[in-house]
Amino acid sequence: MKIYLNGKLVDEADAVVSVFDHGLLYGDGVFEGIRLYGGNVFRLDEHLERFEHSARAIMLDNPLTRTEWSAAICETCRANGLTDGYIRAVITRGVGDLGLAPWLCAKPSYFVIASKISLYPPEFYEKGLAIVTVPTRRVGPGAVPATVKSLNYLNNILAKIEARQAGALEAIMLNDQGYVAEATADNVFIVRKGELLTPSTSQGALKGVTRGTIIDIARELGIRESEADLTRYDLWCADECFLTGSGAEVIPVVKLDGRTIGTGEPGPVTRRVLADFRRRVLVEGTRI
């Protein structure tokens, strides 16, 4: 595998960063997860815009322009012979000393990985997931804004561990007020009386690119959609539920906390949205 590291392609074994890199020492950095479908990098410009905004929000110098990032991502995909896969772009604060001070890091480190990803077994896209709510809360917007896709994922990792301990593949995370924020790596949607509802970023939801795609699809299909403050009760009593993310794509949820959602099978709105999503990923994007 070839990795694009600090301006050049290197072999996987040579793709290393210093133990003094503040991305490693403190999680000081940002990243993007992007999908490649049939040689198209899906919604690359939207991902790179969020990438830029995340870096700006934490006052991290972005070492490349958007055009340069696009070229680096496409080059990495081509170098690995990929037409379908998952892309991870990362900027760290760079090498510094053992103190927190980011201004002592001379320059950022950056890299692109292009490989494969499979978050859930294929059968769950047809039958749906049974998931749980976990105790670990989503970091609130008063601490780190949910719109910053940072390398600090410990809360999500703890939630993932708690899901596994409960025998589930995924988990719902609440915010400090008890409202639904998101899953450990995905956004959450429910269908109630024909309306599509999803938590707002003010409740701790990441402004997901796939999330935005689903909202666009709903509007085009004439499905009413809005952001809403959702509790576990709303999910338990929903007609349908599904999760979205660059890695997960669109995956139905049929049970939460032991309670069957809707009919216990992926519902008609979920199936329509999923079908339209799978269609457009093959025609929307940046050719590598």
Q: What is the pLDDT of residues 162-212, one digit of tens each?
A: 999 999 999 999 999 999 999 999 999 999 999 999 999 999 999 999 999
Cα(100)–Cα(97) distance, integer angstroms:
8
Q: Which CATH class is domain 2-115?
A: alpha beta
* CATH topology classification for 123-280: D-amino Acid Aminotransferase; Chain A, domain 2 (3.20.10)
Mean pLDDT over all residues of the chain? 96
What element of type H or E holds 48? Answer: helix 44-57
Say which of 2, 8, 127, 149 is annotated catalytic.
149
What element of type H or E holds 255? Answer: strand 249-256
Domains 2-115 and 123-280 share a fold: no
Of the pLDDT bands very low, low, confident and very high (cuts 50, 70, 90), residue 219 is: very high
pTM of full prediction above 0.75: yes
Write out pLDDT tens, residues 117-169. Answer: 888 889 999 999 999 999 999 998 888 888 999 999 999 999 999 999 999 99
**Helix, strand, or coil (residue 210):** helix
Instruction: Report residue 222 CA to chain centroid gap.
Output: 26
Q: For the chain, what are the domain ranges?
A: 2-115, 123-280
Q: What pLDDT is attached to residue 142? A: 82
Beta strands of 54-134 (E only): which ranges? 85-92, 109-115, 129-133
Active-site annotation holds for 149: yes
Of the pLDDT bands very low, low, confident and very high (cuts 50, 70, 90), residue 33 is: very high
